Amino acid sequence: MTMSIHARRARYIPVEQGFNIERPVLAPHAFVDEMRRSFADETPTGFVTLDLSPTLGTPYAATTPFMLARYARVRSGERLACTLAASGEIWAVLRGAGTLARDGETLRWRAGDMLALPGGVASIWQADEDAVLWLVTDEPALAFQGVRAEVAERAPVEPTHYRAEDIVRELRVLYDRPMAPDTPGRALFMASERTERLGTCLPAMTLTLNAVRPGEAQRPHRHNAAALVLALREARCASRIGGITFPWTPHVTLLTPAGVPHDHRNPPTVDGSPAAVCDDDIALALIVQDGGLYYYGRTMGFSFA
- Evaluate if pTM is beyond 0.85: yes
Query: Strand 303-304 and strand 79-82: pairing?
Result: unpaired
Predicted confidence at residue 160, as pLDDT, reads 95
In a domain, 2, yes or no: no
Predicted confidence at residue 234, as pLDDT, reads 94
In a domain, 15, yes or no: no
Q: What digits encode the pLDDT tens for the residues 260-303?
A: 999 999 999 766 555 557 888 999 999 999 999 899 999 999 99
Q: Is 276 left (phi over 0), alpha (psi -120 to 50) or beta?
A: alpha
Predicted confidence at residue 274, as pLDDT, reads 56
Report the CATH number at residue 66: 2.60.120.10
In the chain the first and final C-alpha atoms are separated, in Å, by 59
Q: Rounded mean pLDDT of 144-168?
A: 86
Domain hosting 72: range is 25-304
In a domain, 13, yes or no: no
Burial of 1 (0-12, 13-18, 19+ CB in 10 A): exposed
The answer to whether 239 and 260 have CB atoms below 8 angstroms apart is no
Interior CA angle at 91 toward 263 and 84, to 5°?
120
In a domain, 292, yes or no: yes
Give the span between the Cα atoms of 189 and 174, in whole angstroms.
11
In a domain, 150, yes or no: yes
In a domain, 140, yes or no: yes
Predicted confidence at residue 276, as pLDDT, reads 54
Q: What digits encode the pLDDT tens for the residues 71-129?
A: 999 999 999 999 999 999 999 999 999 999 999 999 999 999 999 999 999 999 999 99
Residue % of the chain over a pLDDT of 90:
77
Interior CA angle at 22 toward 85 and 88, to 5°?
15
